[in-house]
Amino acid sequence: MPLNKLLSENDHPDMAEERRKATFDTDEMAAIIWGSKKRMLRRREITQKVEEHPELHDPCSLAYLTRAEGVDNAARKATTMIRLLDELGIDPLEFEDVFHLTNEVIGIAGHPLALHAVMFIPTLQAQCSDEQLHWIELAFNRRIIGTYAQTEMGHGTNLKKLETTATYDAKTQEFILHSPTRTSMKWWGSSRIKPPCFSLEKGRSVDFVALLRWPGNLGKSSNHAVVVANLVMDGKNYGPHNFIVQLRDLETHQPMKGITVGDIGSKMAYNDTDNGFLSFDHYRIPRMNMLMKHARVSPDGSYTRPPHAKVGYSGMVYVRTQMITHQAMFAAYALTTAIRYSAIRRQGEIKPGCGEVKILEYQTQQHRLFPQLARAYAFLFTGRAVKIVHARVDKDVAKGKVDEMAELHYILSGLKAVVTHLAGEAIEQARMSCGGHGYSKASNIFEIYGVAIGGCTYEGENMVMLQQLARYLMRAANAAQSGRGLSPLVNYLVKPHEKHSLIDREPNNDYSGHLLAFEWAARRQIMKAYERLLSLTSSGLSGEEAWNGNAVELNRAARLHTRLYIAQTFYDSVHAVVDAACRSVLEDLLHLHLNYELIDMAYYLLEDGYLSSQQLDYMKEDMYRLLAKIRPNAVSLVDSWDYSDRELRSVLGRKDGHVYEHLYKWAQDSELNRTQVLPSFEKYLKPMMKEARGPSKL
């Protein structure tokens, strides 16, 4: 039995050659990646079931559908998927199953019911009072289709600046929803889950968030929405509250009078999703359409404020925890394609006369791909680790202990920013490593990039995220300087450190010195940024001006802290792996990661002589050694992610390596090939050719 369980007689010989070189069992590794052997097998079972249901398949490559066709196809698949859940043996509350099913059937570009499940229902669950529970039932049974409408054209993240108003009319006991300006128009649908409309109280249902990517469905699919609007009574603004609003007629699907709603147009990705605009022209809804679990408005217009003014971080933390794992998956999608294709693509000779080599033999190609593969694994383990911390901390919150949740919130702000940025880099490097064919949509890497890179913007713009972590770090720096106690997360700020790095020529499998270097770099930059902040304020700037004048240095500090966190987590996770063969190859990836990242941030280590030029050279030599060591396992390391060809949707990334014949098949389906002669020939080209012209100017 070969160690790489994907090895098959149908494999392209070059691919089979790769698989025979595996030094570890890919099923063991898949179980590590997906959490357990059971989970790995369940994923395969679902993949197999989808394979057997042609009504869940696409009519052709998604690259060839127009946007309207894509939205239609996604609606078809989503409704069919829901109808078949029983037959497929999938419990809609088993969210990991639903998640994988969705990845197989829908892909990553969204579908018209996504937001119904991930935002609408959870919001209702969190916000409906006892008299309002019928909304949850209507939504859960899909008698209505809902979405969540918070962000406006002029304001994405600043909840305080939302302009939509809900003015209470005590005479009729109605709220009048109104969009007073162009910029107050609801836009996207939602771009961020805000704590007030999100809680974990109702148990597992929040896990629907597992399905979350960029939300949408406001434009054309939903007939209801939870709308965030400023509650206004007697001229007083009580701030943003949630209202359930019918947008379209249930029978005709026409917008209600007073409602303007539509699609916001094409985007970089998520084009199968109908993100929408929505505005109100004095649109009246009954008083009881305000979601009243927390704040309440009585018939006479008196207001009861919610019991807790301050809301926890749990919802945001949960979503960002999920994002880390998703970004790891996106990077692994792209790298699966790139590494497999690099193993069957031959180009150029290394030794003259010895024939063309696989491009994976080139050091430049290895250096392009393997450190990125290491990152995908690092992000995966990081996502898992923060998920575990979150589950633990969430229990503490229930008991009123909120400190650690706040801390988790800060580190996740940093992780969200760093991981989305680096995952995007990994995906683009993977695409470019495939040459011209990578540029074709046949690679599908580009669609993955579009989806993944959206994560830099949604759920909190990355620059804002880094600034949030920086605020925490500056408080920690202050505490460190004044000798106050520090939480374990930032305890390295006061831990005694060697003044010179311990990194040696031969690490002999001990990379703890590398981890210390991450700590050194982060600590130095955090304390430097802190000192600079103090010096800017003491030079006469206000606190806010000083902060802004120091923002770039603060972001650097936040990034270094986050990269330390990732490295430490990766380190700990790999050392906890039981299977020796898997641990060994994961150690190779870990060591590559540690070297690569430290070289990337070397200037923070060289500045003050902590690292010597010679030690930097040691790390480089070690990195080149590791690239060559990982090379024979490269294909098996991506095979272990266990992506089906359907989920990967990439001609270049095919499991069997038979790329070129399928590339041609793929091209034949191009919408331009539906007819041999395009209409433009008769309309434009032929007349141009017929037009008599004098001799050329030559």
Annotated binding-site positions for FAD: 151, 216
Cα–Cα distances in angstroms (integers) from residue 639 to residues 5, 16, 240, in the given order: 9, 12, 48
Give the DSSP letter string of 646-672: HHH--STT-TT--HHHHHHHHHHT-GG
Residue 217 CB coordination number (10 Å): 29
Question: Could you give the CA distance from residue 49 to residue 81 in angstroms, rounded to a whole number?
Answer: 11
Sketch the per residue contact string, 631 through 670, with a copy of itself: x for CB under 8 A, - otherwise: -----------------------------xx-xx-xxxxx
Site for a copy of itself in 581-600 (CB under 8 A): none
Number of residues that bind a copy of itself (CB under 8 A): 141
Buried b (16+ CB within 10 A) or exposed e, 149-160: bbbbbebbeebe
Residue 391 CB coordination number (10 Å): 11
Q: In the annotation, is 459 catalytic? A: yes
Sketch the per residue contact string, 234 through 273, with a copy of itself: x for CB under 8 A, - otherwise: ----------------x-xxxx------xxxxxxx-----
Is 54 a binding residue for a copy of itself by CB under 8 A? The answer is no
| Residue 268 beta carbon to a copy of itself: minimum distance, rounded to whole angstroms | 5
> Which is nearer to a copy of itself, 402 or 663 (by Cβ)?
663
Question: Could you give the CA distance from residue 4 to residue 19 in angstroms, rounded to a whole number?
Answer: 6
Is 71 a binding residue for a copy of itself by CB under 8 A? The answer is yes
Is 338 a binding residue for a copy of itself by CB under 8 A? The answer is no
Q: Which residues neighbour 360 within 8 Å (Cβ) at sequence distance 6 or greater?
A: 339, 342, 343, 366, 369, 631, 634
Site for a copy of itself in 100-139 (CB under 8 A): 112, 125, 136-137
> Which is nearer to a copy of itself, 144 or 397 (by Cβ)?
144
Q: Where are the alpha helices (DSSP H) in 482-579?
A: 512-538, 543-549, 551-575
Tell how strand 236-246 and strand 224-233 pair up: antiparallel
Site for a copy of itself in 212-231 (CB under 8 A): 219-221
Tokens describing residue 343: 């193993």
Is 672 a binding residue for a copy of itself by CB under 8 A? The answer is yes
| Residue 111 beta carbon to a copy of itself: minimum distance, rounded to whole angstroms | 10
Is 183 a binding residue for a copy of itself by CB under 8 A? The answer is yes
Is 161 a binding residue for a copy of itself by CB under 8 A? The answer is yes
Q: Which residues neighbour 632 within 8 Å (Cβ) at sequence distance 6 or greater?
A: 18, 21, 22, 23
Is 281 a binding residue for a copy of itself by CB under 8 A? The answer is no
Q: Which of 459, 519, 553, 647 is catalytic?
A: 459
| Residue 471 beta carbon to a copy of itself: minimum distance, rounded to whole angstroms | 14
Sketch the per residue contact string, 542 through 561, with a copy of itself: x for CB under 8 A, - otherwise: x-xx--xxxxxx-x------
> Which is nearer to a copy of itself, 510 or 682 (by Cβ)?
682
Site for a copy of itself in 137-156 (CB under 8 A): 137, 140-145, 151, 153-156
| DSSP 3-state of 71 | helix
Sketch the per residue contact string, 365 through 404, with a copy of itself: x for CB under 8 A, - otherwise: x-xx------------------------------------
| Residue 503 beta carbon to a copy of itself: minimum distance, rounded to whole angstroms | 14
Element at 686 (helix H, strand E): helix 686-690
Element at 316 (helix H, strand E): helix 314-344
Question: Could you give the CA distance from residue 457 to residue 579 in angstroms, rounded to a whole number?
Answer: 38
Is 82 a binding residue for a copy of itself by CB under 8 A? The answer is yes
Helices 95-105, 37-51: axis angle to 10 degrees equals 40
Question: Could you give the CA distance from residue 256 to residue 245 in angstroms, rounded to a whole number?
Answer: 10
Site for a copy of itself in 429-468 (CB under 8 A): 432, 435-436, 438-442, 446, 453-454, 456-458, 461-463, 467
Catalytic site residues? 459
